[in-house]
């Protein structure tokens, strides 16, 4: 409709320019009425009483001037109309593309340590669903990259994180930054805790009626003090997807699937993840190899990397012994890892490719993400050699690499 009107205005403009009538002196007055002989005047002049509304004024005795001006006006109106039509069409097309794009056009920025199992869980989820995201590797010593956040752990996922830059520590100290911080908090949505991130985005991908901020209200933050006297933050409902009955039936078509998924997601967070450190730091040699990998893959300065590799390896070797005692692990911690992984494979069974059936569910992605951080280390090679996890693990690699969960 708008395009048709624009074309019509254009045709009228050209016809006026070409018309013999408008070339004859005096013919413009019949179209526009009497105009001043003193050239152009301001529409809001002060030369007489009231407001002089002179839309068009012509120099007397200039044949066809008014017609040409009128024609140009119609052409200009048609051009502007056509421009607005094209502009609206492009915006509409982009909106439709955003709707069709994975994640409904969300822009995601992940603040992480590459070798953190909880960060690896989130990456496995994002990769499987084909959700594009940017990575900000956080320096684990200084953590300057997340100085702007009151939540001091990783992963942190910022939704629409490229709208503005997070304020730096220096900016936060300036009084004039307060309005920027308020603007920043309105534009961005910060998601903390790997399981909350995964559950929130899973809900968002299924339920198209709720925004991320509305979904996050379903996962309230709770603070408490643990047995060591340290304040800890936990989130309620973090293994639940906030779906309607119909949506739940679509996601979990078989009885017991939802409870099974939640059980093994919790198992990955509360048990499997605690087997990683005692295994990768089992001996001084393995601890040194692990920190060599961490320094290469992480974000360290030259001095920090040297310090982390040698001092960190020694420290983690000692800490792994304490973790072994805390979690009642066997002297040979590999056996606990083998048993846990074989328990997982047994839970999937022989008739399913994944715990989710023909495609991975959130439990598959969580376990895969945790185990993946050991790749390249002796513990990973031993696990693949001495358990039944290999075939499932390779299927998970292909599923995430090929974005098989992309909508």
Question: Which positions are catalytic?
Answer: 113, 116, 118-119
DSSP state at residue 22: G
On whether the CB atoms of residues 246 and 234 are closer than 8 A, the answer is no
Residues 6+ apart with CB under 8 A from 25: 61, 63, 64
* Rounded Cα gap, residues 367 and 96, in angstroms: 35
**In the chain, how long is the greatest CA-to-CA distance?**
108
Contacts 24+ apart (CB under 8 A), 18-24: 19/67, 21/67, 22/64, 22/66, 22/67, 22/68, 22/70, 22/71, 23/63, 23/64, 23/67, 24/63, 24/64
Distance (Å) of CA 286 to CA 26, 300, 401: 98, 20, 28
Residues 194/117, Cβ–Cβ less than 8 Å: no
3-state secondary structure of 99: helix
Spatial CA neighbour of 161 closest among 134, 199, 140, 142? 134
């Amino acid at each position: 409709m708008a395009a048709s009107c624009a074309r019509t205005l254009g045709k009228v403009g050209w016809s006026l320019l070409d018309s013999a009538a408008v070339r004859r002196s005096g013919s413009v007055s019949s179209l526009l009425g009497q105009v001043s002989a003193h050239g152009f005047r301001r529409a809001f002049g002060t030369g007489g009483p009231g407001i002089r509304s002179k839309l068009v004024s012509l120099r007397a005795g200039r044949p066809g001037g008014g017609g040409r001006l009128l024609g140009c006006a119609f052409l200009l109106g048609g051009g502007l109309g056509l421009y607005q039509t094209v502009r609206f069409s492009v915006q509409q097309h982009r909106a439709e593309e955003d709707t069709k794009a994975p994640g409904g056009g969300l822009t995601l920025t992940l603040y992480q340590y590459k070798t953190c199992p909880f960060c690896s869980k989130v990456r496995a989820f994002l990769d499987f669903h084909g959700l594009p995201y940017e990575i900000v590797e956080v320096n684990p010593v200084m953590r300057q990259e997340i100085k702007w956040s009151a939540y001091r752990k990783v992963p942190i996922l910022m939704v629409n994180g490229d709208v503005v830059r997070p304020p730096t520590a220096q900016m936060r100290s300036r009084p004039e930054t307060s309005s920027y911080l308020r603007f920043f908090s309105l534009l961005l949505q910060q998601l903390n805790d790997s399981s909350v991130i995964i559950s929130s985005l899973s809900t968002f991908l299924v339920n198209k009626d709720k925004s991320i901020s509305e979904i996050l209200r379903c996962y309230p933050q709770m603070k408490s003090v643990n047995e060591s006297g340290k304040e800890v933050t936990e989130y309620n409902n973090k293994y639940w997807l906030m779906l309607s009955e119909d949506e739940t039936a679509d996601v979990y078509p078989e009885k017991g699937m939802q409870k099974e998924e939640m059980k093994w997601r919790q198992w990955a967070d509360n048990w499997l993840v605690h087997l990683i450190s005692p295994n990768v730091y089992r001996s001084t040699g393995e601890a040194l190899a692990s920190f060599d990998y961490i320094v290469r893959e992480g974000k360290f300065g030259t001095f920090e990397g040297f310090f982390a590799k040698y001092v960190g390896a020694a420290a983690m070797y000692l800490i792994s012994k304490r973790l072994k005692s805390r979690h009642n692990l066997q002297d040979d911690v590999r056996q606990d890892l083998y048993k846990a992984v074989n328990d997982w494979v047994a839970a999937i069974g022989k008739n399913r490719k994944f715990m989710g059936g023909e495609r991975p569910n959130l439990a598959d992605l969580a376990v895969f993400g945790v185990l993946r951080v050991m790749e390249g280390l002796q513990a990973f090679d031993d696990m693949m050699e001495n358990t039944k996890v290999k075939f499932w693990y390779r299927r998970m690699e292909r599923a995430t690499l090929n974005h098989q969960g992309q909508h």
